[in-house]
């Protein structure tokens, strides 16, 4: 008899509607494990990125409760800026919660050679504050480069532009290139959960490890669902 499928990972989604290719947090084929999705009404990308989401805490917890009822064993989210809410939401969530790929930064930094550190490619550098890093135990001085405000990804999410994967890839590679030009970057971390489709391109171009929400979710799920040896 074939083994039973693994219990699913729950994903709390923002209230958005745009193309999500494989690799994106919101595409089920991105994941090697079963996933379940629940949306928080009113949680637009700009509200979360801008930190205007304090009144949505109850709705996030309710989404976690719905995921637990559907069989999820843990929860991640679809926006790295929710790092700022990691402690407050985890304290109320009915399941273990990992809000943001930024949570990986302390571990990544400790894995790199002396003189090297991780750098972050983010959706919006102006909105990613030291408080986001402190909230997940990361160095607030972590180098950050943002995608352009008039670029393809922000156009897709905030201005209903058509999906243009080639243009997004160019913007991501340019941002990663600015990070690598520092000379001390030993790994790149994608803050934005829409960027994992481009992680391999960054890894191939700059020959560094690349981490994102998918690497976080895979690690998280392996601890939640242990292997029988």
pLDDT tens digit sequence for 86-145: 999 999 999 999 999 999 999 999 999 999 999 999 999 999 999 999 999 999 999 999
User: Is the pLDDT reported for residue 24 higher than 80?
Assistant: yes
- Considering the domain boundaries, does residue 130 fall inside one? yes
Tens digits of residue pLDDT in 150-193:
999 999 999 999 999 999 999 999 999 999 999 999 999 999 99
pLDDT number for residue 1 = 60
In a domain, 128, yes or no: yes
Q: What percent of the chain has pLDDT over 90?
A: 93
Query: Residue 117 is inside which H or E element, if any?
Result: strand 117-122
CATH number of the CATH domain containing 106: 3.40.50.1860
Q: Are 8 and 179 in contact (CB under 8 A)?
A: no
| Confidence at 228, pLDDT banded by 50, 70, 90 | confident
In a domain, 77, yes or no: yes
Same domain? 42 vs 126: no
Domain containing 45 equals 9-100+215-224
Overall residue count recorded for the chain in this entry: 229
- Asked whether residue 127 is assigned to any structural domain, the reply reads yes
Shared-domain flag, residues 21 and 65: yes
Whether the pLDDT of residue 21 is over 80: the answer is yes
- Co-location of 67 and 115 in the same domain: no
More reliable by pLDDT, 40 or 227: 40
Q: Are residues 42 and 77 in the same domain?
A: yes
pLDDT (0 to 100) of residue 2: 67
Verify that 27 and 115 share a domain, yes or no.
no
Only one residue has tokens 């191939």, namely 204
Geometric angle at alpha carbon 162, from 83 and 119, rounded to 5°: 35
Same domain, 113 and 51: no
pTM of the full structure: 0.95
Residues 6 or more apart in contact with residue 36 via CB below 8 angstroms: 8, 9, 10, 11, 67, 70, 71, 72
**4 belongs to a structural domain:** no
139 with 172, same domain: the answer is yes
At 53 the pLDDT is 87
Who wins on pLDDT, 146 or 4?
146
Same domain for 31 and 71? yes
Are 55 and 106 within one domain?
A: no
Query: Within this chain, do residues 135 and 33 fall inside the same structural domain, yes or no?
Result: no
Retrieve residue 51's tokens.
């930190």
Q: In whole angstroms, what is the distance from residue 37 CA to residue 196 CA?
A: 18
Is the same domain home to 136 and 197?
yes
Residues 116 and 177 in one domain: yes
Does residue 201 lie in a domain region?
A: yes
Q: Report d(CA 224, CA 8) in Å as an integer.
A: 10
State how many domains the chain has. 2
Domain-located, residue 204: yes
What pLDDT shows up at residue 27? 97
């Amino acid at each position: 008899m074939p083994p039973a499928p693994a219990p699913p990972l729950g994903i709390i989604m923002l209230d958005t509607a745009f193309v999500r290719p494989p690799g994106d947090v919101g595409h089920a084929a991105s994941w090697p494990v079963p996933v379940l999705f629940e949306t928080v009404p009113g949680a637009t990308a700009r509200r979360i990125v801008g930190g205007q989401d304090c009144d949505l805490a109850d709705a996030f917890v309710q989404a976690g409760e719905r995921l637990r009822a559907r069989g999820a064993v843990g929860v991640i989210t679809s926006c790295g800026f929710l790092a700022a809410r990691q402690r407050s939401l985890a304290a109320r969530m009915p399941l273990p919660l990992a809000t943001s790929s930024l949570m990986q930064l302390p571990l990544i930094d400790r894995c790199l050679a002396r003189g090297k550190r991780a750098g972050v490619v983010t959706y919006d550098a102006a909105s990613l504050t030291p408080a986001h890093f402190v909230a997940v135990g990361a160095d607030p001085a972590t180098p950050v480069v943002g995608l352009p405000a008039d670029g393809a990804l922000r156009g897709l999410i905030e201005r209903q532009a058509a999906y243009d994967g080639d243009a997004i890839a160019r913007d991501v590679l340019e941002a990663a290139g600015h990070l690598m030009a520092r000379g001390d970057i030993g790994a790149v971390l994608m803050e934005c959960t829409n960027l994992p489709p481009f992680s391999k391109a960054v890894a191939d171009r700059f020959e560094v490890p690349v981490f994102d929400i998918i690497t976080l979710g895979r690690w998280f799920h392996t601890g939640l669902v242990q292997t029988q040896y």
